Amino acid sequence: MIILWTDALVFLLCFMVLACAVYLHGKEHIRRPLQQIGQNKTGMVSLTVLLFFVGIGLLDSIHYQASGKGIQGAEASHEIISLLDIWATPLREHGEKTYSAPFALTLYSKEMMATADGAVSWGYPRLVFGGRHVDDPKQHTADAVQKTITGLAQGLGWSGLIALLFWGGLKLGGKNLPAHGAAQAVSLTVLALFCTAYALCYVSQYYHVLGTDKVGEDVLYQAIKSIRTGLIIGTLTTLIMLPLAIIFGILAGFFRGWIDDLIQYAYTTLNSIPSVLLIAASILMVQVYMANHEEAFTSIVVRADMRLLFLCMILGVTSWTGLCRLLRAETLKLREMEYVQAAYALGVKPATILIRHILPNVMHIVLISVVLDFSSLVLAEAVLSYINIGVDPTTYSWGNMINGARLEMAREPMVWWSLSAAFIFMLALVLAANLLADTVQQAFDPRRING
């Protein structure tokens, strides 16, 4: 097993989330908002979709070095792959020569082909893997529809069986499924996600569901592998940004004076620097460092992982200023409240006041900002990769997919599926995060008494 830097940080973040959940369990001021979120249909469905994406990202974060026989019995290079790659082996290995449309039997462009009798003709060559079981091209549409319906039917059957076993287990344990609509909406969402995922797995054995790109790689495989990159950009950047924003924001608002002036000067100066230029300069510095220390970065995966980690660090250092301003303003208000003034009068130390009175009362702003910033960071990765200062070109990401597809949109016939796949997956993740952010904001807003 091989642990990359981003893998270690991802699992460290999961451990921290579990530790926070255990610590906050039973806290009344946390229980009420969480109960309100649990009874919100939109919030719970969005959370279910996000957890589905997180599960895929975690599977793609468990890496190991694979070895084996390559083509024609040759020894294959020791490639670093993940557990997700094992599931996606057909997608990963069944490449084509170049572009092919979704569910296609032939390449997207005409080529000179040699027939069996030695003649040369101009036409569309058949794909090596996609639709190779179809002997008669006239049966192509009927076969694709049949395979899709079969996959959906089998997925629906398996999901129904799992649901029956789950509900049966609850009955045997003397429990019932919660009657409120949120639990039913989550159940339907889980069944829909499982059914769709099963159908995609089934149909992908016979066709390239979302087509192939310029080098013949399956677009569905690229879109799924890009989930991990989006999650890492959104979560690790937040992990780096939060301590800076919380510490500096609270200190500036609580102590004021020269401390406030110094912190304001720091984030005002940082905001004055164009973030794109700062990120570009930092990425170039990393590339120069890796070029001068090639012995430490012998694998393409390791090099790409280091660049991804450094991009998260740069985004974290440059994106803490907005939350810092919000926390400073909230702390300026809280320090004038009666309970804080009473603590001052009783001789409570400033550090104790910060931890027990100020920090808990600004956490609703932190929670809301974290969920909102996650969406913006996922979109930021796409923009940065589009202008070639984002993740490494060898890293699977929606930004690299969009960057690779932008020139193909102007060709005739137009290659549209790479851009569409990146758009659909990014929309699903960002939309789920934004809907969950709205639910979290309503639940943790202290101005809402009854939620």
What are the tens digits of pLDDT across the range 402-427?
888 877 777 777 888 888 999 999 89
Helices (H) then strands (E): counts for the chain:
17, 4
CA distances from 316 to 214, 275, 279, 309 (A): 34, 11, 11, 11
Cα 176 to Cα 124: distance, rounded to the nearest angstrom: 58
Contact (Cβ atoms closer than 8 angstroms) between residue 176 and residue 168: no
Mean per-residue pLDDT for 101-109? 87
d(CA 24, CA 101): 50
Name the average pLDDT for the chain: 83
The count of C-alpha atoms lying within 13 angstroms of the C-alpha of 247, restricted to the half-sphere facing its C-beta, is: 5
Long-range CB pairs of 347-353 (<8 Å, 24+ gap) are 350/254, 350/255, 353/254
Tokens of 26: 């039973």
Asked if 290 contacts 298 with a C-beta cutoff of 8 angstroms, the reply is no
Q: What six digits make up the tokens of 180? A: 């409120």
Question: What is the architecture of the domain spanning 224-432?
Answer: Orthogonal Bundle (1.10)
CA distance 68 to 233: 32
Q: For residues 311 and 448, which has the higher predicted lDDT (pLDDT)?
A: 311
**38-49 tens-digit pLDDT:** 888 888 899 999
3-state secondary structure of 78: coil
Name the least confident of 143-157, 240-254, 294-308, 318-332. Answer: 294-308
Q: Between residues 29 and 250, which one has the greater pLDDT?
A: 250
DSSP 374-440: HHHHHHHHHHHHHTT-SS-TTS--HHHHHHHHTTGGGSSS---HHHHHHHHHHHHHHHHHHHHHHHH
- Residue by residue, DSSP assigns 294-321 as GGG--SHHHHHHHHHHHHHHHHHHHSSH
Contact 231, 54 (CB under 8 A): yes
Task: Tell me the chain's radius of gyration from C-alpha atoms.
Answer: 26
Query: 10 Å Cβ neighbour count for 47?
Result: 22
